[in-house]
């Protein structure tokens, strides 16, 4: 994912961390156990199925 500002990035990672903490499957191979760190690694790998919609477009 590219083009998100830091607030959008934080929101995406937070939303994904919540999903992981509730048992959603992890989308990458990782040794991490903390949902926030897993979500951050997934974000960096570009595998998250999130899109950002801005404004009223």
Cα 15 vs. chain centroid, distance in angstroms?
Answer: 7
Opening angle at CA 41, ends 52 and 51, nearest 5? 10
- Residue 33 pLDDT: 97
pTM for this predicted structure = 0.87
Q: Which H, E and C letters describe 2-23, residue by residue?
A: CCCCHHHHHHHHHHHHHHHHCC
Structural domain count, the chain: 1
Where in the sequence is the domain holding 36, given as residue range(s)?
Answer: 6-45
Give me the CATH number covering residue 16. 3.90.940.10
Give 17-54 pLDDT, tens digit per residue.
Answer: 999 999 999 999 999 999 999 999 999 999 998 888 88
- Residue 40 pLDDT: 98
């Amino acid at each position: 994912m590219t083009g998100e500002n830091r607030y959008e990035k934080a929101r995406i990672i937070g939303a994904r961390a919540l999903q992981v903490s509730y048992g959603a499957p992890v989308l990458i191979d990782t040794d991490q156990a903390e949902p926030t760190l897993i979500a951050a690694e997934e974000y960096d790998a570009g595998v998250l199925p999130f899109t950002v919609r801005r404004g009223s477009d």
